[in-house]
Structure 1
Amino acid sequence: MSKTIFVLNGPNLNMLGKREPGIYGAGTLKDVENRCIAVGKDLGFEVDFRQSNHEGILIDWIHEAGEKAAGIAFNAGAYTHTSLALHDAIKSITVPVIEVHISNVHAREEIRHHSMIAPAAKGVICGFGPTSYILALHAFKDIIS
């Protein structure tokens, strides 16, 4: 089995560092990527880190990960709360998916309290800032071992 973890990011995550720093912090998505790659290496994983604002591209990447990866850490952004298509894409693959969020979505607007992704995911990690991604990588170390 591959030791690659896909870290997929959805809409507006390219705006980290600029968008609502009180919620998302001052770090950029590149900062998150660099940290994930370094921690992944320490855990014995190659991290394939990607971001798109387009739902169809995210679906294509999920399908690709189903063939090439050991797991997916997935921050679907706002699509978390709306996308049955992403839910179905996750259900169509056999590799585990961990839903990740920087903010605690349950402490925010009510619309963010429901996830279309969570019922298809192995687990959900939210509210720990960029460390949520790192916690997901550590979880994969246990899941895959």
Structure 2
Amino acid sequence: MARRIVVLNGPNLNLLGTREPHIYGTGTLADVEALCTERAAAHGLEVSCLQSNHEGELVAALQEAGADPEVVGVVLNAAAYTHTSVALLDAIKATGVRVVEVHLSNPHAREPFRHTSFISPVAEMVVAGAGPRGYGYAIDHLAATGG
């Protein structure tokens, strides 16, 4: 398998395009995944995408990515789990996998409970408020620093 970037999307991101478009835009998850595939290919990398509403699936995906020497890094939009998941934090710490945290919106411009991230302390970069472009920025970073 070729060198690749793993893109993980958390709960409710499967509803992109219809979920609160005034916050998340009208693009779909398929649009985000296509952008990621295109951007990774521009760097000579493959991409694998997973969206899950289940925390344990995301933990398992982080563990698999961390164990795979072909994985350059992970683009992680943990969605609501950003603010609650010690399990995701521990998975990133335990595996040492490189993670760029991405948010479509700017959590700091929203409700106070969204201002805390369990992912940020172990992410090497955070991209927030750039919409789907943020995924591209994350891929560019991972490719430039490890691809």
Indicate the TM-score class for this superposition, using the shorter chain for normalisation: over 0.9
Structure 1 match to 2:55 = 55
CA-to-aligned-CA distance 1:39-77 (integer Å, 9 cap, x gap) = 110111111011000000000000000012110000000
Give % identity: 52
Alpha-carbon RMSD across the aligned residues, in angstroms, is 1.2
Q: 1:74: which partner in 2?
A: 76
Supply the AA of the counterpart residue of 2:22.
G
Letter paired with 2:18: K
Q: Is the contact between residue 75 and residue 138 of structure 2 (CA under 8 Å) also seen in structure 1?
A: yes
* Aligned match of 1:139: 141
**For residue 108 of structure 1, what is the amino acid of its counterpart?**
R
For 1:116, the aligned partner's letter is F
Cross-structure match for 2:132: 130
Q: One-letter code of the match for 1:102?
A: L
Task: Give the structure 2 partner of residue 107 of structure 1.
Answer: 109
Identify unmatched segments of 5+ residues in structure 1: none
Alignment-derived partner of residue 26 in structure 2: 26
- TM-score, normalised via structure 1 length: 0.96
SS of residue matched to 1:27: coil
CA shift at 1:91, angstroms?
0.3
Equivalent pairs, count = 145
1:7-26 equivalences in 2 (<5 Å) = 7-26=7-26
Matched letter for residue 10 of structure 2: G
Instruction: Identify the match of residue 119 of structure 1 among 121, 130, 147.
Output: 121
2:90 maps to amino acid? D
Paired residues of 2:62 and 2:97 also in contact (CA < 8 A): no
4+ residue stretches of structure 1 with deviation over 2 A? none
Amino acid at match of 1:106: H
Question: Given the two structures, how large is their TM-score scaled by the length of structure 2?
Answer: 0.95
What 5-or-longer segments of structure 2 have no aligned partner? none
Shift of 1:95: 2.5
